[in-house]
Amino acid sequence: MTAGWTEDRVGALKKLWLEGQSASQIAKQLGGGVTRNAVIGKVHRLGLSGRATPSQPARTAAFRPARPRATPAGSPMAQPSTPRRIEGARIEAVAPRPALPVVTPVAAPELAGTATVMTLGAHMCKWPIGDPSSREFSFCGRRASEGVYCIEHAKVAYQPQVRRGAKDGANELARSLRRYI
């Protein structure tokens, strides 16, 4: 059983709400069976919307630098500039980092069944080979050309739909049943 909203409780509610306290904090202070939801409902019915201060401090927006855009190789913008680090309101030059070595992607295995879950790449055939519960389970791993499969496995996976002629018994039965539906 909850206590009724007396004039004293409503006055205390208004005061605490305008001070910026949360509904849970107000419910604890009012006591006597007043719940957080009861406080929220009463605030809504009273039309109390504005607060003096928020119950939680506002978050500051994190700065995210813009992504660099690709520029044509011959343009003056293509020349690397000195990177800068922003700290507070000052900008200072930072020494350029050495260029990272270019890593060439590993060629897809030529033999089917040599790719594992850990070595399977985006453009490799994902045709499963073997029993998934065994240690020898693998994937084809050849270059995928038809979706996620190599040419050979795509022929098996993507079979064209065969249209059956009028002589097929199932089609004749279906046509005859349509008359009664």
Residue at 113 is within a domain: yes
Residue at 29 is within a domain: yes
Asked whether the predicted pLDDT for residue 79 surpasses 60, the reply is no
Q: What is the pLDDT of residues 33-77, one digit of tens each?
A: 899 999 999 988 988 876 655 555 555 556 666 666 666 565 555
Q: Are 17 and 51 in contact (CB under 8 A)?
A: yes
Q: What is the pLDDT of residues 115-158, one digit of tens each?
A: 888 888 888 888 888 888 888 888 888 888 868 888 888 888 88
Residue at 75 is within a domain: no
Indicate yes or no: pTM above 0.95.
no
Helices (runs of H) and strands (runs of E) counted in the chain: 5, 4
More confidently predicted of 171 and 79? 171
Asked whether the predicted pLDDT for residue 13 surpasses 80, the reply is yes
Residue at 172 is within a domain: no
Q: What is the 3-state secondary structure (H, E, C) of 101-127?
A: CCCCCCCCCCCCCCECCCCCCCCECCC
Residue at 20 is within a domain: yes
Q: Alpha-carbon distance 3 to 115, whole Å?
A: 69
Asked whether the predicted pLDDT for residue 107 surpasses 50, the reply is no
Name residue, tokens 């039965």.
173
Residue 115 β-bridge partners: 139
Tokens of 125: 């055939």
Q: Which structural domain range is residue 24 located in?
A: 7-46
Residue at 56 is within a domain: no
Number of domains in the chain: 2
